[in-house]
Amino acid sequence: MERNELLDRIGALSERELRPVENVLRALDDMKVNKYPFFGNFLDIVKEESDDPDVFVCSMPIVPELLNPLRIVYGGVTAALADMAMAWMLEHREDMGRRARFVTIDMHVNYHNAGTGKRLIAKSRLVNVAREVLQVSCEIENDKGDLVVTSTGTFLHLVRRGQRQASGEDQ
């Protein structure tokens, strides 16, 4: 789509229809500042304070654009929050290294209650470490305290060959 056509189409949107466009622009701006991926910024996921040092907490607002026809958060959005919360928790652990990166190799999601309310709050914790394979759990509640999702994920710690050799693991 050409730039002028895009601007014309944006100009023709209603105030309500402009909200997702504003969210895209906010997410693009946030990426420049916080260096987080677009989708996490688009969902407006933010780190929260945790009373327990072993539990990583983050949350996201529930906005109309993320609701299915039944007016509940799409299950895939909730699953994406769980996936991001678990990986983000691993990236924030000091014992993993400052530039640690992880990819999901397996994930299970159990839905318990509808994703309703004003916010979804994800709480993640490390369950087990076996070399570069890590198991993590996550619980997501809404702002009313209803359990929405429980999830477990298996993640691969991406380790560069030089890092592995420097630590003596390949010897």
Domain map (residue ranges) of the chain = 1-42, 46-166
- The share of the chain scoring above pLDDT 70, in percent, equals 91
* Selected residue with higher pLDDT from 125 and 166: 125
Report the distance separating Cα 131 and Cα 134, nearest Å.
8
Record the pTM: 0.85
pLDDT band for position 162 (cuts 50, 70, 90): low
Tokens of 116: 């309703």
For residue 163, the model assigns a pLDDT of 53
Burial of 62 (0-12, 13-18, 19+ CB in 10 A): buried
Architecture of the domain whose range is 46-166? Roll (3.10)
Residue range 60-73: mean pLDDT, rounded: 95
Residue 38 dihedral angles phi and psi, to the nearest 5°: -55, -50
Angle at 56 between CA 112 and CA 41, to 5 degrees: 85
Report the distance separating Cα 96 and Cα 99, nearest Å.
8
Residue range 114-140: mean pLDDT, rounded: 96
Residues 107 and 153: beta-carbon distance below 8 Å: yes
